[in-house]
Structure 1
Amino acid sequence: MTTKENVLTLLMTQAPEFISGEEMAQKLEVSRTAIWKAIKELKKEGYLINSSTNKGYQYLPSDILSAEGIRLYLSEKTPDLSIKILDSSTSTMRDAKLAAVNGEPENTLVVADMQEAPKGRFGRPFFAKKGGGIYMSILLRPNQRFEEMAQYTLIMAVAIAEALDKAAGIVSEIKWVNDIYINGRKVCGILSEAMSDVESGQITNIVIGMGINFAIRQDEFPEDIRDKATSLYSDGQPTITKNELIALIWNRFYKILNEKDTAYLDIYRKKSFVLGKEVTFIQKQVEYQGIAKQINNLGELIVQLPNGDEKALSSGEISLKKIQG
């Protein structure tokens, strides 16, 4: 890490106590001048740092995205993430896929303060606001078969939903397969894409991306989606930082992943607001209606048609057109 990054980490770890420039210089084995320059750069970037002639420096909480800020809250059991922070990105999914092509390490996490061309499943655009959302994608290398890929989307949905609940004291819901809702309005969308080895049929890379509306006031959403979308803190007054929420999400994601059981499926099903309702979907250009009966262990939605037949809907090919009841 650079001196600036090391100084920021020290300040965050020490907070809310002061730490002297001399102590930082000794711990980092750099000059006092290097510490002073690093503090100056951090303040210029917007970090809130108190300076006292007698006490030294004190970090004050701020909602600036930083790798150091995220790592501060990561669990010891969460892998060492390679974190890239971007001021803006056309698409963090694209950035993570490029990281895969370039041979960058597994668990590379790309986080942007703004996504210029955000898209969800089937290329659908979604609303993004600089500083108001969390836009991130992660690179995984699971070496599994395609039929096992759905579990990552379901695990991700559960991890995000539980993190949102914990952060804001709410009860979120999941719309099959990859949308998180609060009070009937969408707060997050998830997208998973795989890269494979043709000869082995194994998935070599998975990229999971998400856009989370973090702190966007309800009246800031475009009028045409104001009744359909919301943010975690729709009053614009968050009670935790984006860095904390990001860490909460990945701590939960890797905990579920490492447990290697299907307990998360019970949580997913419990949070689903689709099960038991009448759904309309299009498959091979034919429109169907039926009752969503269950979500199987492959993440497929089982829908019972009026004639009693059942259809297993795959997330990669089907989008629910309507949900009633």
Structure 2
Amino acid sequence: MTTKEKILTLLQKEDTVLSGEKLAQALSISRTAVWKAIKELEKEGYHFEHLANGYRFVSADRYDQAALAAALPMIPTIQIKDAVESTMKEAKIAALDSGLATPALFLTETQTGGHGRFERPFFSPKKQGIYMSLLLKPNQAFQELPQYTVLAAVAVAEAIDALLMKETAIKWVNDLYLDGKKICGILSEATSDFETGRITSVVIGIGISFSIPQQQFPAEIREKATSLFPGEEYPTFSRAALIQEIWRRFFQLLAQLPDMDYMARYRQKSFVLGRPVQFTQQGVTYEGIAKDITNTGELVVETATERKVLSSGEISLDRY
């Protein structure tokens, strides 16, 4: 067992207050080592009371299958694993099971091969983020599909705003930002039936950096990414609470269709509109001003010579 595992075991077993000195003596380590281990455990989702006479174990921000199922009755299947390659892959494999009750939610504590768009790796430290994918089986023609990525972006952004009491912003089409840095990526993928042309399954993958210390991010993304709780502060809500809020809002938006109010909210949260952007099409790089986002989620960009409508791809801004 590691030092932090031993400290956690002692505090959970005793169910009382243990001073740093007593813990240090019990494990033959320094009080500084005890303090560091407590901090590491807190970043992994364990909560302790810091009292004048020591530490008391309070709770752990860990996923409870029964509690999530009770809070999310609209999702009949919830799968939780300690580690997977990616929740997107788990959902895609599950989509082949004709007997699976859907919607189905796949959650993990860490991903060994989590990725975003263009197969870019998604940093997924254990118990410090929310890594989940939702499997839907719409059986609809492509043109009939809701804008799942947009719906998810609005649901995630507004859920974080409500719980964190800070304003997030959306970068078209699928990234969420807080204080100018990326905190969340959303990836939607669909599978179609070759004979009918109908969409048989949709997987919405969401990765949220929850309580990752800023210095823990890889050097190549440290200046561009952050988490909801990047410092020494205690998370003011649990990952499970945020997950519940996200999917409650998502299914509310879905139930309100064909009402397009969610598109107005998406535009309002966008920090792209009205700003200079760059994008590449067929090997040619263009510059222009992002003018609008259509009701089908396309970005309208006005260049010096023409108006371009982007249905996919990636844009870049000066700082992002």
TM-score by length of 1: 0.77
**Change over 3 Å in CA distance of 1:221–1:87 after alignment to 2:** same
Partner of 1:105: 101
Following TM superposition, by how much is the alpha carbon of 1:146 offset from its aligned partner in structure 2, in angstroms?
2.1
Distance 1:73 1:136 in 2: 16
Q: Are positions 1:154 and 2:150 aligned together?
A: yes
Task: Give the superposition deviation at 1:276.
Answer: 0.5
Q: Distance in 1 between matches of 2:218 and 2:75?
A: 38
Structure 2 partner of 1:166: 162
Pair 1:294-2:292 in alignment: yes
Aligned equivalent of 2:225: 229
* CA apart distance, 1:241: 1.1
Q: Deviations over 1:188-233 (max 9, x none)?
A: 0000000112232211100000110011111221222111001111
Q: Specify the alignment match of 1:257 in structure 2.
A: 254
1:313 aligns with 2:313: no
Separation of aligned partners in 1, 2:107 and 2:153: 18
User: Secondary structure in 2 aligned to 1:251?
Assistant: helix
- In 2, Cα distance between the equivalents of 1:73 and 1:194? 27
SS in 2 for 1:174: strand
Contact 2:140–2:198 (Cα < 8 Å) also in 1: yes
Aligned amino acid, residue 101 of structure 1 = L
Do 1:282 and 1:321's aligned partners in 2 also have CA atoms closer than 8 Å?
Answer: no
Residues 75, 102 of structure 2: 8 Å contact kept: no
Q: Distance in 2 between matches of 1:209 and 1:170?
A: 23
Pairs within 5 Å for 1:46-85: 61-74=59-72, 79-85=74-80
C-alpha separation between the residues in 1 aligned to 2:159 and 2:309?
A: 29
**Whole-Å Cα distance in 2 between the matches of residues 215 and 208 of structure 1?**
22
1:247 aligns with 244
The CA distance in 1 between the partners of 2:66 and 2:212, in whole Å, is 24
Aligned to 2:195: 199
C-alpha distance in structure 1 between counterparts of 2:113 and 2:256, whole Å: 35
Q: Is the 8 A contact 1:194 1:205 kept in 2?
A: yes
Gaps of 5+ in 2: 1-44, 48-57
* 1-structure distance, mates of 2:177, 2:264: 18
Q: 1:214 aligned to 2:214?
A: no
Shift, 1:167, TM fit: 1.4
Q: Is the 8 A contact 1:85 1:111 kept in 2?
A: yes
Tell me, yes or no, if structure 1 residue 87 matches structure 2 residue 45.
Answer: no
1:268 is aligned to 2:263 = no
Secondary structure at the counterpart of residue 225 of structure 1: coil
Deviation track 1:138-189 (CA, whole Å, cap 9, x = no partner) reads: 1101222223446100000000001111111110000000000001100000
Aligned residues: 264
- Counterpart check, 1:144 vs 2:140: yes
Quote the RMSD (CA, aligned, Å): 2.1
Counterpart in the other structure of 2:281: 283
Query: Once the 2 structures are TM-superposed, how far is the Cα of residue 61 of structure 1 from its aligned partner?
Result: 4.1
Q: What SS is found at the alignment partner of 2:95?
A: helix
Provide the rounded CA distance (Å) in 1 between the counterparts of 2:319 and 2:144. Answer: 30
Unaligned residue ranges in structure 1 (runs of 5+): 1-45, 49-59
Deviation at 1:70, TM superposition (A): 1.9
- Cα contact 2:294–2:300 (8 A) shared by 1: yes
> Are the counterparts in 2 of residues 303 and 312 from structure 1 also a CA contact under 8 Å?
yes
Contact 2:276 2:290 in 1 (8 A): yes
Residues 92 and 111 in structure 1, CA contact (< 8 A), matched pair in contact too: yes
1:122 matched to 2:126: no
The answer to whether structure 1 residue 177 and structure 2 residue 187 are counterparts is no
What's the CA shift for 1:69? 3.0
Partners of 1:148 and 1:280 in 2: how far apart? 30
2:127 is aligned, of 131, 156, 173, to: 131
- Which letter maps to 2:118? F
Provide the rounded CA distance (Å) in 2 between the counterparts of 1:168 and 1:72: 23
Identity of aligned residues (%): 47
